[in-house]
Amino acid sequence: MDMLSLIPDNLSELLVKILQFTEQRRDLLYRNIHNTRTPGFIPQDMPVLEFAGALNGALAEHVHNHRLLFCDTENITFGPNSLMQIAPIADTHAETLLREDRDEYLEWQVNKLLENSLNRKVAAELLRFNQDPDSGLPPSCFAVAALNDTRRADTSQPDSNAN
């Protein structure tokens, strides 16, 4: 899908990046589930915190200079025409789970898929509201939730506060 035609402003461009990221992450998480019995398989995830940091940097640039500037990171490269390349990273926690408890590993991957699906749905709804402001609640009501969502903890690592 050519998402470039969907980008009339900075907010839309940011949301399209989130949609692209979540689509790639979904595919990677599916591969993690399907390869549980492949010898030597090492689960991967997308660099979630790195991506959130890149978005926060782009938003800060927008606030200060009224332009959205995406800066490359170690695993993420932004290119022209909405191009974005992301190198997956090894998920060491998932790798340990896969070795020790396959059921818990699968639950971990499914929970990541659910979280990713929710992030994608929020971004898609925000994009829809941004494209058609008369369709419902104003986008500003949802923008705070989307920005807060980019600050959440990286789910590729275990939650140290979890029981």
Q: Specify if 68 maps to a domain.
A: yes
- 140-158: per-residue pLDDT in tens? 444 444 444 443 444 444 5
> How many alpha carbons fall within 13 Å on the CB side of residue 143?
11
> pLDDT digits over 47-95, tens only?
999 999 999 999 898 888 888 889 999 999 999 888 899 999 999 999 9
Q: Tens digits of per-residue pLDDT, 15-60?
A: 999 999 999 999 999 999 999 999 999 999 999 999 999 999 998 9
For 117, residues 6+ apart whose C-beta sits below 8 A from its C-beta are 22, 26
DSSP lists the bridge partners of residue 92 as none
Domain range for 121 is: 3-149
pTM for the full model? Answer: 0.76
**Is 161 part of a structural domain of the chain?**
no
Structural domain includes residue 138: yes
158 found inside a domain: no
The Cα 46–Cα 138 span in angstroms is 31
Residue 36 DSSP symbol = T
Does residue 162 lie in a domain region?
Answer: no
Q: How many domains does the chain have?
A: 1
